[in-house]
Amino acid sequence: MNISYYEQFICILSIYYTNWHLLSFTIAAKTFGVPKFTSDAMDVITDPDVDAVWICSPSQYHADQIKACAANGKHVFCEKPIATDLAETVEAINACNEAGVKLMIGLQRRFDPNFLRVRNAIETKEVGDTIVIKTCSRDPSPPPYEYVKGGGGIFNDMAVHDLDMTRFLAGEDPIEILAVGSCHIDKSIEDLPGSEAFDTATCIVKYPNGVSAMVDVCRQSSYGYDQRAEVLGTKGMIATDNVYPNTAKIYRNDFTGNADMPFDFFLSRYFEAYVTETEAFCKSLVEDSEVPCTGIDGLVALVMSLAADKSAAENRWVKFSEVIENVYCSSPTECSLLVDSDVFPDGFKPTKSLSELQNIVVPDVDEQKKSGSFTTKFKEMLGI
């Protein structure tokens, strides 16, 4: 990691969990040489010595903490999701854009060297034009019931990474989705509502030019993290394997294969990706360059997972515009959902595709440098 990025500004990494005690903070602070520590998020957000905040708290706190960071002029790195609600997501993004602070979303698989190699093969036409994209994501073991309950369901909580990866690899916005889910492993969750009752799910996503993407996710794989991607092109195919602790193999008369199982903890599996995305955010602050994973990327990922949820519930193809067009913003940071309503406020312009998200999301701080002030752009969007 290039330490010079950290010498040029102060970044305090704050992870808030209610079961952490003061002793834990004290030990961590002493170990890593952190001069100040706290268990209160607002102490960090309002600290005048803090330039940027990492938000790694439970999902339900993200939107309010992002807005608080924006109000205090802090740049933000936020783990996905931006919010669990689509309207709150738009509000949080716009709060940062209005305040002129950077917002980067932690979709760490975009920084994994395996997936990046596949992306590079697509961009350089190494395997020709893309025909089919496939990803799979299977966890070593299912989470506890208490985690699944209220977690937003398997599409929002888990498949969102794979859905975002298909968009990352396709290089275009998707059109529609078909999703199904089922429960095979933890029968205790079957009493939960909607897709919270699923521990297994499959999605098919349609992209422009007839390109399709297939995603399968499961809460359990007995052999460790199963995280793979495959792209079939007109000139060949590229695929990733799982990541192992080492490359050692065993050759016996009853077994030939890897000596050890794949990594079985997400921090081990994606360690390099977490480091790389952190460096990328720091670099964007130091050099005042564009963040590589924007608020729009986080918003589209949420739209995709919500559409998958809707598809599984209604057993049909769902266009992503069906999700977006229900969001109405009377101002950049005052948004609401108009679900199942045929009456829209005056001046409301339903968004027909992902490419028209600028109807509800104003330009971020980097786009504003290119295209004019925030106020002017928002007035143009509303026709004022």
What are the tens digits of pLDDT across the range 332-373?
A: 888 888 765 555 555 455 556 676 676 778 788 877 776 654
Q: What is the model's pLDDT at position 21? A: 45
* pLDDT-derived band at 5, boundaries 50, 70, 90: very low
Indicate whether 77 pLDDT > 50.
yes
328 in Cβ contact with 335 (< 8 Å) = yes
200: pLDDT confidence band, cut at 50, 70 and 90? very high
What does the pLDDT read at residue 341? 52
Q: What is the mean pLDDT of residues 13-31?
A: 56
Predicted confidence at residue 375, as pLDDT, reads 44
For the cut 60, the answer to whether the pLDDT of residue 7 exceeds it is: no
Would you say how long the chain is, in residues?
Answer: 384
Provide the pLDDT confidence category of residue 251 given band limits of 50, 70 and 90. Answer: very high
Q: Across 80-211, where does the E strand assignment appear?
A: 103-106, 130-138, 176-182, 200-206
Contact 152, 84 (CB under 8 A): yes
Instruction: Take residue 339 and report the two structure tokens written for it.
Output: 């679900």
Identify the pLDDT of residue 101: 96
Rounded Cα distance between 36 and 45, Å, is 13
What is the pTM for the complete model shown?
0.85
Residue 16: which pLDDT band, with cuts at 50, 70 and 90?
very low
Say whether 145 sits in a helix, a strand or coil. Answer: helix
In single-letter form, the type of residue at position 146 comes to E
Q: Tell me: the pLDDT tens digits for 102-142?
A: 999 999 999 999 999 999 999 999 999 999 999 999 999 99
